[in-house]
Structure 1
């Protein structure tokens, strides 16, 4: 399959959140030594942490004496404190996300322009470049990988029980009802971290109302009191009886583990999440199907496929030194190569490379299926907390969704509260 077709024509957005004193940069002081690149990492889980260590070690081996000093912070802590981090004493390079999440900080003047790097980048589609571009037309992100969200399950469980992947919502509910009778939790469900359930909201919204509505809603252009939003929550309420109870106290790792242990039948997650929790010998048992159709008008056209990458922090003291800035940009140039992605994916086969130059011959069947899912999509979204303003997603939508999960019956009160807060936040600029 051509990598050039991947993400083609994707009309994606993205969002962010706020990083504190505990995310202190590990730089060597004002100006740095010109050879040491400090890097803020949110990859705290063992599998991606090792994969990035391998990639950075490979960079050091081929560089002219440059070193990468990694500052790894718990993923959720990193996300929740990103704003303070970037305005404080950030590392030179940091891991972050495409679209709105990047654009928001670019507009605040917190990111270094890397348009000169992009002039030499090869293997990235126009859609990827668009997702790496700020409102000012300059590039700020070096994309590294993406991963689709879907409904994951175990092949062996489906084979043993005779389950069939559903295409429509009614078939999905019927399958969940059957799993319930089979003494399974039909849908592994979690939201302790505040973001996992957003994937379910996005899919119900895009399947019900379409991608363009999703974009408008995330941009603050549509009222949350709109009947179409109420319909999303009403549909979700129909699914909640089939979801694991106590989701607000469960992490995504615990939800993925229940899938691995065959305690739950399905889970709406991103590609890396079950992959990171399944032992190596069971990786081949992971499978997925696209989130089911709700409104035939929109079918299964849209796919959530967040893009992660690397950026330069404008307020890094080291980057005031021309040699340090040159070193940081050199690291990004190397990370933009297919070879760099190949090294990472060898240790973490739970993502998909964004570069045309990456070697996809070694992809697992699951990775190949992920490529097919995304390249066949008519629209690609980034994720609720990446497709809207960071302050809105973190201060309004996280508590709103958690409140809905614990008390799904007051939809009117919920959407009225979201809309009231949205008006205040979106009017702030």
Structure 2
């Protein structure tokens, strides 16, 4: 029987505590700057920020400073390391969260909205809805028909590569899995690591699972699996892992000890040929290197589904259920919905695209233009495994199950049994 691999020894215990909702106070390090009726003055809005990497942190700071200049309000920023922010969000929301806080669209947004842990933004949406396509409003709406999130930026996942490396070696974009394997084989013989790979942070490998699952089994099966309506031990999921096992020898070794930034640097340095990640991978590229970066949609595996689905997570902002400065919070959220705010962010971090349909794209770089087109052309959009399913399943069963598989792909039976057992407990318990 495989023991699920946990790179952080106390992580599972911590997540159980969080997801059980134990304790009302925010966990250490994610204490709010002051809301829930206490501590926020009438001229200050507190802001919970999960953009801890320097580039996006500087970008959102520039946006908030612009808001301060326009509104006359002050913004007290509470930044937390990205993964810890996600791990601690449940208790944070039950305590005294910041007035406005970063989060994600889709299942993860609805999960907290339906528990009454975030504020209704329907009144803000009545002012900003003309700036969003219906799909973005849908992704911000809970089962009660009310909106709980303001979309800010969006980015696609794809297979990224350096154009100069490919041109030098005569590589061509693969359209099918067999072509992908043939290319990876050739890269390996050329002395490159075919596929950069990192899993220390627990979530990057989820992107590989998602791509394989909706390429093999289609969008609807993927959505149903994420909702606990399909069997993790069934033949369709087994085929996903069997396909991944075929591809693992082309992946960068020792992934469980590597962060995505390090894997991105191996691509940037020309040591790896490809890297499946979101377009934020460009944060690790500077100057002319950014112009040398390109990507393609994950290759077709099952012709029935082709390349019709694109993983394109939406990042945005929610309001706490009882903000200390409700008027200021709504003013900030309305500001974050504007093209000016989103483009100001993208000027400092041009790795994503604006969610506003009124944003001027003439200043987009080539990567952004392609990202916008790929998202526009997709028949189906997914948010990402840890955003599309119950957070209890994502944070424990999925993270540890994928880590166990990567560590020992020959023991897939026990991995799938463990994931299936936990899915039954979470989705039917």
- When the two structures are superposed, what TM-score results if normalisation uses the length of structure 1? 0.93
Q: Give SS of 1:287's match.
A: strand
| Counterparts of residues 225-240 of structure 1 (less than 5 Å) | 225-240=233-248
Task: Quote how far apart the aligned CAs of 1:342 are.
Answer: 1.2
Task: Quote how far apart the aligned CAs of 1:315 are.
Answer: 4.8
Number of the residue aligned with 1:193: 201
Number of the residue aligned with 1:43: 51
CA RMSD after TM alignment: 1.2
Q: Give SS of 1:140's match.
A: coil
Q: Give SS of 1:380's match.
A: strand
Task: Quote how far apart the aligned CAs of 1:277 are.
Answer: 0.5
Number of the residue aligned with 2:312: 305
Q: Give SS of 2:232's match.
A: coil
Number of the residue aligned with 1:208: 216
Output one character per residue of 1:307-327: Cα deviation in whole Å (capped at 9) or x when no partner. Answer: 0000011154x1xxxxx1011
User: Quick check: 413-422 or 207-216, which moved more?
Assistant: 413-422
Number of the residue aligned with 2:138: 130
Alpha-carbon distance in 2 for matches of 1:412, 1:130: 37
Q: Verify the 8 A CA contact 2:336 2:342 in the aligned structure 1.
A: yes
> Highest relative contact order (Cα 8 Å, sep 6+), 1 or 2?
1
Q: Verify the 8 A CA contact 1:21 1:85 in the aligned structure 2.
A: no
The equivalent position to 1:251 in structure 2, one of 247, 253, 259, is 259
Number of the residue aligned with 1:271: 279
Output one character per residue of 1:292-313: Cα deviation in whole Å (capped at 9) or x when no partner. Answer: 0000000000000000000011
Alpha-carbon distance in 1 for matches of 2:121, 2:322: 15
Number of the residue aligned with 1:104: 111
Q: Verify the 8 A CA contact 1:155 1:287 in the aligned structure 2.
A: yes
Output one character per residue of 1:117-141: Cα deviation in whole Å (capped at 9) or x when no partner. Answer: 1011131011100000011111000
Aligned: 1:373 with 2:381: no
Number of the residue aligned with 1:154: 162
Q: Give SS of 1:23's match.
A: coil
Alpha-carbon distance in 2 for matches of 1:314, 1:427: 28
Alpha-carbon distance in 2 for matches of 1:145, 1:70: 19
| Counterparts of residues 321-336 of structure 1 (less than 5 Å) | 324-336=325-337
Task: Quote how far apart the aligned CAs of 1:264 are.
Answer: 0.5
Alpha-carbon distance in 1 for matches of 2:29, 2:348: 28
Q: Give SS of 2:362's match.
A: coil
Number of the residue aligned with 1:174: 182
In the alignment, structure 1 segments of 5+ residues that lack a partner are: 1-16, 319-323
Q: Give SS of 2:274's match.
A: strand
Q: Give SS of 2:46's match.
A: strand
Alpha-carbon distance in 2 for matches of 1:229, 1:294: 14
Output one character per residue of 1:147-182: Cα deviation in whole Å (capped at 9) or x when no partner. Answer: 000000000000111100101000000000000001
Q: Verify the 8 A CA contact 2:33 2:40 in the aligned structure 1.
A: no
The equivalent position to 1:220 in structure 2, one of 211, 220, 228, is 228
In the alignment, structure 2 segments of 5+ residues that lack a partner are: 1-17, 20-25
Alpha-carbon distance in 2 for matches of 1:161, 1:355: 39
- When the two structures are superposed, what TM-score results if normalisation uses the length of structure 2? 0.93
Aligned: 1:77 with 2:84: yes
Task: Quote how far apart the aligned CAs of 1:35 are.
Answer: 1.4
Alpha-carbon distance in 1 for matches of 2:95, 2:253: 40
Output one character per residue of 1:197-222: Cα deviation in whole Å (capped at 9) or x when no partner. Answer: 10110000000000000000000000
Q: Give SS of 2:248's match.
A: helix
The equivalent position to 1:113 in structure 2, one of 103, 110, 120, is 120
Number of the residue aligned with 2:22: none
Number of the residue aligned with 1:359: 360
Number of the residue aligned with 1:7: none
Q: Verify the 8 A CA contact 1:87 1:315 in the aligned structure 2.
A: no
Task: Quote how far apart the aligned CAs of 1:88 are.
Answer: 1.5
The equivalent position to 2:297 in structure 1, one of 290, 306, 315, is 290
Alpha-carbon distance in 1 for matches of 2:407, 2:40: 49
Aligned: 1:143 with 2:151: yes
Q: Give SS of 1:120's match.
A: helix
Number of the residue aligned with 1:340: 341
Q: Verify the 8 A CA contact 2:33 2:39 in the aligned structure 1.
A: no
| Structure 1 stretches of 4+ moved >4 Å | none
Alpha-carbon distance in 1 for matches of 2:293, 2:77: 31
Q: Verify the 8 A CA contact 2:40 2:46 in the aligned structure 1.
A: no
| Counterparts of residues 49-60 of structure 1 (less than 5 Å) | 49-60=57-68
Number of the residue aligned with 2:4: none
Alpha-carbon distance in 2 for matches of 1:314, 1:145: 23
